[in-house]
């Protein structure tokens, strides 16, 4: 096992932000601890999971404003799950 670091990004859109560049038809919902999280593959080979309460829109939909980007689908979804369960951690990381 290496001591390498894994980069995970937490992104919050403002009105001027561009939408994420995702590969078409790459969306897969991933189960983490019994909850489903939408994920998609980005054009740069990383994966994104994003917030939404009901049926999730696509990651580039204007309704989607917060994302977690990671090297794998599961890591993106699991990180999203951790932050979903502890909103204070999300706010601490994005402030």
Among 25, 83, 20, CA closest to 48: 20
Q: Into how many domains does the chain fold?
A: 1
2 in a structural domain:
no
The pLDDT assigned to 42 comes to: 92
pLDDT score of 58 = 79
Which portions of the chain are predicted below pLDDT 50?
A: none
Quick one: pLDDT at residue 55? 67
Q: What pLDDT does 53 receive?
A: 55
Q: In this structure, is residue 29 part of a structural domain? A: yes
Is 4 within a domain? no
Q: What pLDDT is attached to residue 46?
A: 92
Q: Containing domain of residue 76, as a range?
A: 9-90
Whether residue 17 lies inside any domain: the answer is: yes
What is the reported pTM?
0.56
Among 73, 81, 33, 39, which residue's Cα sits nearest to residue 56? 39
Within a domain: 1? no
């Amino acid at each position: 096992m290496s001591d390498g670091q894994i980069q995970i990004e937490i992104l919050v859109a403002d009105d001027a932000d561009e939408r994420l560049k995702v590969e078409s038809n790459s969306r897969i919902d991933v189960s983490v601890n019994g909850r489903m999280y939408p994920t998609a593959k980005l054009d740069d080979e990383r994966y994104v999971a994003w917030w939404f309460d009901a049926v999730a829109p696509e990651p580039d939909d204007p309704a989607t404003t917060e994302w977690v980007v990671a090297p794998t689908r599961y890591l993106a979804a699991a990180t999203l799950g951790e932050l979903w369960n502890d909103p204070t951690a999300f706010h601490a990381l994005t402030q």
